[in-house]
Structure 1
Amino acid sequence: MEKGKKFRLFDAVLMAVVVVLVVESVAPAAAIGPSQFFWWGVFLFLFFLPYGLISAELGTAYDDDGGIYDWVRRAFGKRWGGRAAWLYWVNFPIWMASLAILFTSVIAQVFPVHFGTWINVVIQLVFIAGVTFVSCYPIADSKWILNLAAIAKVFIMLSLGILGIYVAMTKGVASSFTVKTMLPQMNATSLGYISVILFNFLGFEVVTSMASEMPNPKKQIPQAIIWGGVLIVIFYVFAAFGIGVAIPSDKLSTSSGLMESILLLIGEKNWFVVLIALLFMYTLAANLISWSAGVNYVASHAAKNHDLPAVFAIESKKTGMPTGATILNGVIAAVLIVVSPLIPNQNIFWVFFSLNVVALLGSYILMFPSFSKLRKIDPDTARPFRVPGNQLLIFLMTWIPVVLLVITTIMSAVPLNGTAEEINGKVPILIGTVITVILGEICIRFAERSGNKNSKNGQSTKK
Structure 2
Amino acid sequence: MDSSAPAKKIGLLGIIFFVFSGMIGFDGLAATAAVGPTVFGWWAVVIVVFLIPNLLMNSELGTAFPADGAIYDWAHKSLGPRHAARVAWFYWINVPFWMPAVYLIASGILSLLFFPDAPVWVQTCLAISMVWFTVFICNAPAATGNLVNFVGGASKVIVLLALVIGGISFVSVHGPAQELTLESMMPRFDDGFRYAPTLVYLIVGAETVACMGGALKNPRRNIPLGLFLALSIVLVLYSLAIAAMIVALPNDQLSLVGGITQTFSILFGDHPAGRALTVSLSLIAIVALVTYIVPWLMASSRAAAEGADANEMPAVFGKRNASGSPVGANVLTGVVATIALVIYTFMSANADELFWSLFAFASFLLFVTYFFMIASFVRLRETHPDTPRPFRVPGGMIGAWIVALMQAFVLAIACVVLVFPDVMDGRISLTESAPTLIGIAGSVILIEFFVRRLIPAKQSDTPTAG
Bin for the TM-score computed over the shorter chain:
0.7 to 0.9
Partner residue of 1:433?
440
Per-residue CA distance 1:145-195 (angstroms, 9 max, x = gap) = 2122122212212221222222222211111322332122213x3222111
Per-residue CA distance 1:59-85 (angstroms, 9 max, x = gap) = 343333322122123222222222222
1:425 and 1:191 map into 2 onto residues whose CA distance is 16
Partner residue of 1:314?
319
SS in structure 1 opposite 2:168? helix
Contact 1:209 1:294 in 2 (8 A): no
In the TM superposition, 1:12-23 aligns within 5 A as 12-23=15-26
Of 366, 373, 382, the match for 2:388: 382
In the TM superposition, 1:168-247 aligns within 5 A as 168-187=171-190, 189-208=191-210, 216=217, 218=219, 221-222=223-224, 224-247=226-249
Partner residue of 2:410?
404
**What count of residue pairs does the alignment treat as equivalent?**
448
Per-residue deviation at 1:211? 6.8
SS in structure 1 opposite 2:361? helix
1:338 and 1:209 map into 2 onto residues whose CA distance is 36
Per the normalisation by structure 2, the TM-score is 0.86
Per-residue CA distance 1:389-426 (angstroms, 9 max, x = gap) = 44433221111001110111101102525769x55543
- Percent identity between matched residues is 27
1:408 and 1:118 map into 2 onto residues whose CA distance is 30
Partner residue of 1:457?
none
Of 321, 336, 343, the match for 1:339: 343
170-179 vs 218-227, greater mean Cα deviation: 218-227
Partner residue of 1:458?
none
Partner residue of 1:460?
none
Per-residue deviation at 1:56? 3.0
Say whether residues 1:50 and 2:53 are aligned partners: yes
In the TM superposition, 1:246-325 aligns within 5 A as 246-268=248-270, 270-316=275-321, 318-319=323-324, 321-325=325-329
1:240 and 1:124 map into 2 onto residues whose CA distance is 24
Contact 1:303 1:313 in 2 (8 A): yes
In structure 2, do the counterparts of structure 1 residues 123 and 368 end up closer, same or farther at CA, with 3 Å as the change threshold? same
In structure 2, do the counterparts of structure 1 residues 191 and 130 end up closer, same or farther at CA, with 3 Å as the change threshold? same
Partner residue of 1:152?
155
Per-residue CA distance 1:347-404 (angstroms, 9 max, x = gap) = 2111111111111111112211211110121123333443344443322111100111
In structure 2, do the counterparts of structure 1 residues 231 and 382 end up closer, same or farther at CA, with 3 Å as the change threshold? same
2:143 and 2:232 map into 1 onto residues whose CA distance is 24
2:134 and 2:12 map into 1 onto residues whose CA distance is 26
Q: 1:368 is aligned with what amino acid?
A: I
Per-residue deviation at 1:270? 1.8
Partner residue of 1:328?
332
120-129 vs 254-263, greater mean Cα deviation: 120-129
In structure 2, do the counterparts of structure 1 residues 252 and 115 end up closer, same or farther at CA, with 3 Å as the change threshold? closer
1:136 and 1:217 map into 2 onto residues whose CA distance is 35
Partner residue of 1:62?
65
Per-residue deviation at 1:9? 5.5
1:392 and 1:38 map into 2 onto residues whose CA distance is 28
In structure 2, do the counterparts of structure 1 residues 11 and 283 end up closer, same or farther at CA, with 3 Å as the change threshold? farther
In structure 2, do the counterparts of structure 1 residues 114 and 14 end up closer, same or farther at CA, with 3 Å as the change threshold? farther
In structure 2, do the counterparts of structure 1 residues 50 and 235 end up closer, same or farther at CA, with 3 Å as the change threshold? same
2:45 and 2:322 map into 1 onto residues whose CA distance is 47
Per-residue deviation at 1:135? 2.1
Of 357, 368, 378, the match for 2:374: 368
Per the normalisation by structure 1, the TM-score is 0.87
In structure 2, do the counterparts of structure 1 residues 61 and 313 end up closer, same or farther at CA, with 3 Å as the change threshold? farther
Say whether residues 1:108 and 2:114 are aligned partners: no
Partner residue of 2:128?
125
Contact 1:104 1:123 in 2 (8 A): yes
349-358 vs 374-383, greater mean Cα deviation: 374-383
In structure 2, do the counterparts of structure 1 residues 117 and 344 end up closer, same or farther at CA, with 3 Å as the change threshold? closer
SS in structure 2 opposite 1:383? coil
SS in structure 1 opposite 2:94? helix
In structure 2, do the counterparts of structure 1 residues 142 and 233 end up closer, same or farther at CA, with 3 Å as the change threshold? same
Q: 1:360 is aligned with what amino acid?
A: L
2:218 and 2:280 map into 1 onto residues whose CA distance is 36
In structure 2, do the counterparts of structure 1 residues 37 and 311 end up closer, same or farther at CA, with 3 Å as the change threshold? same
Partner residue of 2:450?
443
In structure 2, do the counterparts of structure 1 residues 380 and 310 end up closer, same or farther at CA, with 3 Å as the change threshold? farther
2:21 and 2:311 map into 1 onto residues whose CA distance is 32
Say whether residues 1:77 and 2:84 are aligned partners: no
155-164 vs 231-240, greater mean Cα deviation: 155-164
1:450 and 1:392 map into 2 onto residues whose CA distance is 32
Contact 1:309 1:446 in 2 (8 A): no
In structure 2, do the counterparts of structure 1 residues 3 and 396 end up closer, same or farther at CA, with 3 Å as the change threshold? closer
In structure 2, do the counterparts of structure 1 residues 118 and 247 end up closer, same or farther at CA, with 3 Å as the change threshold? closer
377-386 vs 363-372, greater mean Cα deviation: 377-386
In structure 2, do the counterparts of structure 1 residues 53 and 302 end up closer, same or farther at CA, with 3 Å as the change threshold? farther
In the TM superposition, 1:410-425 aligns within 5 A as 410-414=416-420, 416=423, 417=425, 423-425=430-432
Contact 2:344 2:357 in 1 (8 A): no
In structure 2, do the counterparts of structure 1 residues 63 and 318 end up closer, same or farther at CA, with 3 Å as the change threshold? farther
Q: Which blocks of at least 5 consecutive residues in structure 1 are unaligned?
A: 453-463
Q: 2:382 is aligned with what amino acid?
A: K
Contact 1:303 1:447 in 2 (8 A): no
1:324 and 1:216 map into 2 onto residues whose CA distance is 36
Per-residue CA distance 1:420-459 (angstroms, 9 max, x = gap) = 9x5554332222222222221122123226999xxxxxxx
